């Protein structure tokens, strides 16, 4: 009789394809993985996704929406202290780079009649939401 650990990777194969045990094993495996997930890691993944989307909203002319970019930057900055300590410096660096990109494009928008803003506010809020660089053009 084969060892269950050796056949575990072959679930759904020709032998034993409809056994309830393999479904239960899969559920148990998923439950174990969920037990191991740390909230800080999910927050980090979320912050990175938010920053990537914010970068698109700044860099791509056909997707430019500075209001949405600002929300993304503010959200990532707010999440920075909640991620694992070893990732905080990189996240802060990414936020800073996006703030600079934002400031550059917000300044262009003021001088050039504005870029497409999508559903976001017509101009970014003037009030800084913390310790950021939210003073485009100066």
Tens of pLDDT along 34-75? 999 999 999 999 999 999 999 999 999 999 999 999 999 999
Confidence (pTM):
0.60
Residue 133 lies in a domain: no
Asked whether 137 and 108 are in contact (CB, 8 A), the reply is no
- What local confidence, expressed as pLDDT, does residue 110 receive? 58
Confidence band (pLDDT; 50, 70, 90) for 107?
A: confident
Largest CA distance in the chain: 77
Which residue segment(s) compose the domain that 61 sits in?
Answer: 39-112
Give 19-79 as a DSSP string: -HHHHHHHHHHHHHHHHH--HHHHHHHHHHHHHHHHHHHHH-GGG--HHHHHHHHHHHHHH
Specify the number of domains making up the chain. 1
Q: What is the rounded average pLDDT of the residues 119-132?
A: 38
């Amino acid at each position: 009789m084969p060892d269950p650990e050796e056949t575990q990777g072959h679930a759904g194969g020709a032998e034993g394809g409809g056994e309830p045990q393999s479904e239960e094993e899969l559920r148990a495996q998923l439950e174990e993985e969920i037990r191991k997930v740390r909230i800080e890691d999910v927050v980090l993944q979320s912050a990175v996704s938010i920053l990537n989307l914010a970068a698109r909203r700044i860099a791509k002319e056909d997707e430019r929406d500075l209001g949405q970019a600002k929300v993304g930057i503010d959200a990532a900055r707010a999440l920075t202290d909640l991620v694992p300590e070893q990732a905080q410096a990189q996240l802060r660096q990414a936020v800073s780079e996006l703030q600079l990109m934002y400031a550059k494009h917000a300044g262009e928008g003021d001088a050039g009649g504005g870029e497409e803003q999508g559903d976001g506010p017509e101009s970014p809020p003037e009030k800084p939401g913390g310790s950021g660089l939210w003073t485009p053009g100066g």
